[in-house]
Structure 1
Amino acid sequence: MEATCSRLDDPTSYDDFLQAYLLPNQPVIIGPTLVSSWPAYKLWRRAGDTINWAYLKDVYGDLDVTVADCATREFSDQRRDQMLFRDVVSLWEAGEGQSLYVKDWHLARTLTLKLPSYDVFYTTPDIFRDDWMNAYYSANTEDDFRFVYVGAAGTFTPLHRDVYTSYSWSTNICGRKRWWLFPPEQTHLLFRKGGEEHLETAFDVRHVDPETHPLFDQARPIIVEQNSGETIFVPSGWYHQVENLTNCISINHNWCNAVNLPSLYASMCAKVLEVEHALEDVRELLSHGSAQSPDTDPEAWKQEWVSIVQDVVEKDAGWNWMTFWRMILHALRLAMDRPCSVNDTLWPRTPSDLMPSPDLIKTRVRACYEDFVKRPENEHTLLAGLEEVLVDVKRLLDE
């Protein structure tokens, strides 16, 4: 049966969202009622559905932003630079910089830390509150996965899958986007010829060379247009590309929870394997060196090897196994109402009625845990500090 993207005029309850979209891992677009109370929806727009550039420059103009040049490809992404937000807007207002796209702007976190009493410009909808990534990162790191995107008509984000198959949701405050959504069963059609091991996909779905991507013409994406005020839910593991059809400003989150945890875990395993293959020569050097040292434990090199792999995994994708399991432990403590670090200003506690049942949460975590401790890489014993985290995870699972 051909995949489709549902549309809802009005918000659904959390339970209905869980059953209809999270568990089946299906996309949906929800109408403006979901976000109509947001200050951003009222202040960032003007009559006629145009962006209120004057307001944005006045309030946020002095902030640094990351700007992608959509006309300049740099490896598998677009060239990026840092600019003041007011300077980018001034270019657009002068009819210049039409290929520039402000991306991954941590505006909410920046304002909270810089101006603790600032006026909140949006709140996370209830159906997206069960968010392990932002709960953990907001409480324990200087990072998060909450972004604002601002781009001129024609700017785009190349084909990609969100970090470790996380979910995403994106609300158009003003403007229209076109989305290409590829269900996970079509993923193998997106790879470059001979590049399956490294997950090198097409860059721009509008211009794909059949010589380098011979299977791409068999892919059948869902193509949808997202209007001003609408929110799209992108399921776990769905590759997607996004184009701004007009000047557009949006609020986006990457997120995960127990429902898509098995997919995240499988993606982590795949990333580790990819890095191991890329560093095979390092592995050989370490094992050979250990064999040539009679006074050294012949297994000692493995701890250094695992540490090197995890460092590269973290630099390449932002997470490693330590982050993954600390996030899970944090989520379990919250779900089971145990003492846990929380930054209520950045990410308030999620009520239990906006989560799956404790049994579902434990079942998903336990499956990952039991597989992980059996991995032949033995990361659970070789990575410093990880065994203590896993002991605490196991203790909560057994309660």
Structure 2
Amino acid sequence: MDAVATRNTLARREWLLRTLAELRTLSPRASAMPAYPTITAQDFLDRHYAVNRPALLRGEVAGWPALRLWTPEYLKARIGAAEIEFQGGRGANENYERFKQRHRRRLPFDQFIDLITGKGVDNDAYVTAYNNRNNIAALQPLHADLGFIDHLLTRDVEHPHGMMWIGPAGTFTPLHHDLTNNLLVQITGSKRVLMVAPEEGPRLYNDHHVFSQVRDIEHVDLKRFPGMANLHAMRFDLKAGEALFIPIGWWHQVTAHDFSVSITYTNFRWRNDFHVGFPMK
């Protein structure tokens, strides 16, 4: 395909995505976040997983002991001085999400809790999903406090209990999209979540991998990024005891209001290996 044909193909693709995004905004219901107390596996598959639409599940984790137990003091006593990995020194590099490998740090868990419950830490220290593989053994005692959403998730994986996020108020995950379908369960504290549909992708200045040049869509320099004017985003607070389905390709950014513990699950009962073949360059 020559250069002109390539440009025309890309232009047609952007036109289609822009049109789909504009169609979504015609209906307040279509552009809003659907919420359920609970949902059956078939309804979840038909209404959300298979059609790439997010959902807020408000009652699926009710009764999990972790919801009442996981204070900083409890976590510190339960895990003790077991060494964990976290993301540190984030304040010195605004591109900390793009260069996560550079921010890997280690501390005994009780010292990490002391660090993030002290003053002035904000976004500088955070246990994230990126650290998960190196924290499985240390955090394993916490699994006893969790239930399991068997009708949506499978236990038939190596590590079925998800990936932990533990951090202070003020932690911020910049605008990005994931290469898997995710279920984000909020255990302790609350988080501000902004989500943007995949159709808006051409307006989001995606310059590298799954990241946007715009870190925070609530604070955009429209002279530099004029394409983001009048961008439609879902905005809501994810509270303790709620689970958010973030479909693959949905752009999102997340800010913690309080000391926060969350778990991301990707082990759905249905296929979730779409990241294979993603163009890395």
Where on the TM-score scale, by shorter chain, does this alignment land: which range? 0.7 to 0.9
Asked if 1:106 is matched to 2:115, the reply is: no
Pair 1:38-2:47 in alignment: no
The question of whether the paired residues in 2 share the 8 Å contact of 1:68 and 1:103 is answered with: no
**Larger relative contact order (Cα-Cα within 8 Å, sequence gap ≥ 6):** 2
Rounded Cα–Cα distance in structure 2 between residues aligned with 1:230 and 1:250 = 10
Shift of 1:188: 1.3
**Equivalent residue number for residue 77 of structure 2:** 58
CA contact (8 A) 1:182 1:222 kept: yes
**Which of the residues 175, 183, 188 maps onto 2:202?**
188
Deviation at 1:71, TM superposition (A): 2.6
Whichever residue aligns with residue 37 of structure 1, its letter is G
Match of 1:248 in 2: 260
Check if 1:146 corresponds to 2:166.
no
CA distance in 2: counterparts of 1:151 and 1:21, whole angstroms: 29
Corresponding residue number in structure 2 for 1:216: 228
- Counterpart residue number, 2:216: 204
User: Who is 1:311 aligned against?
Assistant: none
CA distance in 2, matches of 1:215, 1:119: 44
Over 3 Å counting, the alpha-carbon distance change for 1:68 and 1:189 in structure 2 is farther
Computing the radius of gyration from Cα coordinates, the structure with the larger value is 1
Structure whose residues are more often helix by fraction: 1
Are the counterparts in 1 of residues 177 and 211 from structure 2 also a CA contact under 8 Å?
A: no
1:84 to 102, 108, 115: 108
Greater CA deviation, 57-66 or 179-188?
57-66
Distance 2:268 2:62 in 1: 25
User: Which residue of 21, 34, 51 corresponds with 1:6?
Assistant: 34
2:111 alignment partner, SS class: helix
Q: Deviations over 1:64-116 (max 9, x none)?
A: 1313445332535264422222112213444242332221253883258x77x
Aligned residues: 244
Q: Could you list the runs of 5+ residues in structure 2 that have no partner in the other structure? A: 1-23, 26-30
> Contact 1:103/1:148 (CA < 8 Å) preserved in 2?
yes
* Contact map agreement 1:21 1:27 (CA 8 A) in 2: yes
Structure 1, gaps ≥5 residues long: 45-51, 275-399
Identity of aligned residues (%): 23
Q: Is the 8 A contact 1:179 1:243 kept in 2?
A: yes
Question: TM-score normalised to the size of structure 1?
Answer: 0.54
Q: Does 1:25 align with 2:61?
A: no
1:188 and 1:152 map into 2 onto residues whose CA distance is: 33
Q: Distance in 2 between matches of 1:189 and 1:148?
A: 31
Paired amino acid for 2:110: R
Give 3-state SS (helix, strand or coil) of 2:146's partner.
coil
Aligned alpha-carbon RMSD (Å): 3.0
